[in-house]
A and B are shown apart, each in its own frame.
Chain A
Amino acid sequence: MIEIKNIEKKFGNNHVLKNVSFIFERGKTNLIIGESGSGKTTLIKILIGLHKIDSGIVLFDGVDFNAIKTKKQRLLRQEIGMLFQGGALYDYMSVEENIMFPLNMFTKKTEIEKLERVNFCLKRVKLEGKNGLMPSELSGGMTKRVAIARAIVMQPKYLLCDEPNSGLDPKTAIIIDNLIQEITKEYNITTIVNTHDMNSVMEIGEKITFINKGEIWWKGNKDELLNSNNKELNDFVFASELFKRLKKG
């Protein structure tokens, strides 16, 4: 469980997050939705200390991330898997080396054990046998999947995904959404997913928070979302013709 309380964040005069409080539950895929520029990435980066907060508290199962020493923060981060908006694969390493990297850094496993784990994760993201490819040789969807494999290789307790399926075709996007959902359930971890893709929301939206202009505007699940009367939420959700029809029908 990750809990945030009264988070405030400004970039200069740009007040990006205003008094944001929320509980991201364990064993669930917690979604953050909102328009482009509403502060989703900023919020996720604040959780893990990539951006400093102006005020507020971030608790990882009760541990105040910003109150502990850098060394402890690094230890805590080893329990966090993060999928970046652009994948952020190390471009001078092959797929296998990318996924194996955290194991090399933090475990004392033998080469065989590490390779087994890497292959297991590759299988999980349906990329068996792609060990030798370089990031430049991957398609967008493959990049995301390798990044997921790398994010789960250490069996994290927390999985943070920044727009896991932006720029992907609907079919691949659903495969990735379901994969994240499966991993969350299977290992009972706390997963947070940023998205503005309404397909994802319908696919895995168990617990949704809608950020608008840096504030939490609405919370609920996908059924509540469809029936909500919140104007800004409706404007966001039903921006597309498809979803407008869904609401009527």
Chain B
Amino acid sequence: MEKVGLNSVTLVIILSFFVGAVVSIQTSINMSNPLLPSYLVGLASRDSLILEFSPTMISLILAGKVGSSIASELGSMRVTEQIDALEIMGINSASFLILPKVIATVFFFPFLIIISMGVGMVGAWVGGLSANITTADFMFGLKYEFIPFYITYAIIKTIFFAFIISTVSAYFGYHTKGGAISVGKASTAAVVASSILILLFNYILTDIILS
């Protein structure tokens, strides 16, 4: 559980807060046109956090953190023959080692993403204040034409991404061949492959779900 994300909470909180703040500052700078209402800052921050930043960017970052940890853990178990040791005891090592990790990531990532959305909006509010957007305007924008389905969409994406990260990393780790160097290689390959798949599925899922 710790390995699949519990100790990623701090990272997610820090990242989301600052990205939220920066998004709202940049939006307000770009909307210096007095004709545009200032509540747009809240609205734009909300949508970019929910639709892209929290599910996709955070998943990409977690692919680096959680994915490499899964791959290197399994990889080092492979090269030190711990996986063989499980097998010769009569244990199905793949399901024994991989299944709990997949289940844990798929259950836990959505919570991380929801935390990220919440903290990101707090960041956006703080950033908005520093760009002279009043709390009332910001809150109005936050609620303006809010589509709850966007959150469902974000969570669906996250579940896909969590599944991709855990299975792809487990695959690379489990099939490591050779010594300690190959463990490092497996974990790099796992991160690269899961990141690419995340981007690809982000495109596919957005196409299917939102259009």
User: Which residues does A use to contact B, with CB under 8 Å?
Assistant: 45, 48, 50, 73-78, 80, 82, 84-86, 88-91, 101-102, 105-106
Picked from A50, A82, A91, the residue with its CB within 8 Å of the CB of B82 is A91
When C-beta atoms are compared, the residue in chain B nearest to A89 turns out to be B82
Residue pair B84, A102 in contact (C-beta under 8 Å): no
| CB of B69 to closest CB in A, whole Å | 13
**Which residues on the B side are within 8 Å of A48 (C-beta)?**
88
Q: Contacts A86-B80, A91-B80; is A50 near B85 (CB within 8 Å)?
A: no
| CB of A249 to closest CB in B, whole Å | 40
The total number of A-B Cβ pairs within 8 Å is: 44
| Cα of A87 to Cα of B90 in the assembled complex, Å | 17
| CB of B33 to closest CB in A, whole Å | 58
Residue pair A78, B82 in contact (C-beta under 8 Å): no
When C-beta atoms are compared, the residue in chain A nearest to B84 turns out to be A50
User: Which residues does B use to contact A, with CB under 8 Å?
Assistant: 76-77, 80-82, 84-85, 87-92
| Most chain A CB within a 10 A radius of its CB, from B82, B84, B88, B92 | B88
Residue pair A77, B89 in contact (C-beta under 8 Å): yes
| Cα of A75 to Cα of B92 in the assembled complex, Å | 11
Residue pair A90, B85 in contact (C-beta under 8 Å): yes
Residue pair A84, B89 in contact (C-beta under 8 Å): no
| Cα of A4 to Cα of B85 in the assembled complex, Å | 22
Residue pair A88, B84 in contact (C-beta under 8 Å): yes
**Which residues on the A side are within 8 Å of B77 (C-beta)?**
90
Residue pair A105, B91 in contact (C-beta under 8 Å): yes
**Which residues on the B side are within 8 Å of A89 (C-beta)?**
82
Chain A to chain B: the 5 pairs with minimum beta-carbon distance, closest first: A77-B90, A74-B90, A88-B81, A88-B85, A78-B90
A contacts with B: majority SS: mixed
Residue pair A75, B90 in contact (C-beta under 8 Å): yes
Residue pair B89, A88 in contact (C-beta under 8 Å): no
- Beyond A77-B87, A90-B85, list 12 extra A-B contacts (CB 8 Å): A75-B90, A76-B90, A78-B89, A80-B88, A84-B84, A88-B80, A88-B81, A88-B82, A88-B84, A90-B82, A101-B89, A106-B90
**Which residues on the B side are within 8 Å of A80 (C-beta)?**
88
| Cα of A80 to Cα of B85 in the assembled complex, Å | 11
| Cα of A45 to Cα of B87 in the assembled complex, Å | 11
16 A–B contacts from the bound complex (CB under 8 Å): A48-B88, A74-B90, A76-B90, A77-B87, A77-B90, A84-B81, A84-B84, A85-B81, A88-B81, A89-B82, A90-B82, A90-B85, A91-B80, A101-B89, A105-B89, A106-B89
**Which residues on the A side are within 8 Å of B89 (C-beta)?**
77-78, 101-102, 105-106
**Which residues on the B side are within 8 Å of A88 (C-beta)?**
80-82, 84-85
**Which residues on the A side are within 8 Å of B88 (C-beta)?**
48, 50, 77, 80, 82
| Cα of A50 to Cα of B89 in the assembled complex, Å | 12
Residue pair A84, B85 in contact (C-beta under 8 Å): yes
| Cα of A77 to Cα of B91 in the assembled complex, Å | 9
| Cα of A73 to Cα of B89 in the assembled complex, Å | 10
When C-beta atoms are compared, the residue in chain B nearest to A150 turns out to be B85
| Cα of A5 to Cα of B77 in the assembled complex, Å | 32
| Cα of A86 to Cα of B90 in the assembled complex, Å | 19
When C-beta atoms are compared, the residue in chain A nearest to B76 turns out to be A91
Residue pair A74, B92 in contact (C-beta under 8 Å): yes
**Which residues on the B side are within 8 Å of A74 (C-beta)?**
90-92
| Cα of A78 to Cα of B89 in the assembled complex, Å | 5
| Cα of A138 to Cα of B87 in the assembled complex, Å | 24
| CB of B36 to closest CB in A, whole Å | 55
When C-beta atoms are compared, the residue in chain B nearest to A82 turns out to be B88
